[in-house]
């Protein structure tokens, strides 16, 4: 389902049922994904910016868990973009999960089935590109 030249990376929290559900779906499809435990090794600001671009957004809140207590504790409801990104680097629990990245696209897999849609669209895009090259 994933084009051979494209890797699949999942920002993963093993304590999250949606993350575990996404992993099960990917395993059922035979997808060999890399699971990044982002709570243990927080992504850099540059990586957050890159993934926001892959998600098709410039708004950090689109990939934030705004219901987390730390969001309110830090007063992030009125924070600007820079403060939101800094907060996600410092407090990775604020990052929505799971985020599945395939090639130059990403999706927040809530529900986990969105990961399969991303894989299907990536596979069909790769197939179309291969046919154009022939």
pLDDT per residue as tens digits for the range 42-64 = 999 999 999 999 999 999 999 99
What pLDDT sits at residue 125?
66
pLDDT band of residue 5 (cuts 50, 70, 90) is low
φ/ψ of 22, rounded to 5, equals: -65, -45
- Of 16, 39, 74, 83, which is the active-site residue? 16
| Region 11-16 average pLDDT | 96
Residue 90: which region, alpha, beta or left (left: phi > 0; alpha: psi -120 to 50)?
alpha
- 16 in active site: yes
pTM: 0.86
SS3 content of the chain, % helix, strand, coil (to 5): 50, 15, 35
Residue ranges and CATH numbers for the domains of the chain are 1-38+97-129 (3.40.30.10), 43-95 (no CATH)
């Amino acid at each position: 389902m994933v084009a051979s030249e494209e890797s699949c990376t999942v920002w993963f929290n093993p304590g999250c049922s949606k993350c575990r559900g996404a992993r099960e779906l990917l395993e059922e499809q035979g997808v060999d994904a890399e699971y990044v435990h982002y709570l243990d090794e927080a992504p850099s600001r540059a990586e957050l910016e890159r993934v926001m671009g892959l998600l098709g957004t410039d708004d950090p809140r689109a990939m934030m868990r705004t219901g987390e207590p730390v969001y309110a504790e830090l007063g992030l409801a009125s924070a600007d973009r820079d403060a939101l990104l800094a907060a996600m680097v410092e407090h990775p629990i604020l990052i929505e999960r799971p985020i599945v990245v395939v090639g130059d696209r990403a999706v927040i897999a809530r529900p986990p089935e969105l990961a399969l849609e991303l894989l299907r669209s990536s596979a069909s895009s790769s197939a179309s590109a291969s046919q154009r090259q022939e």
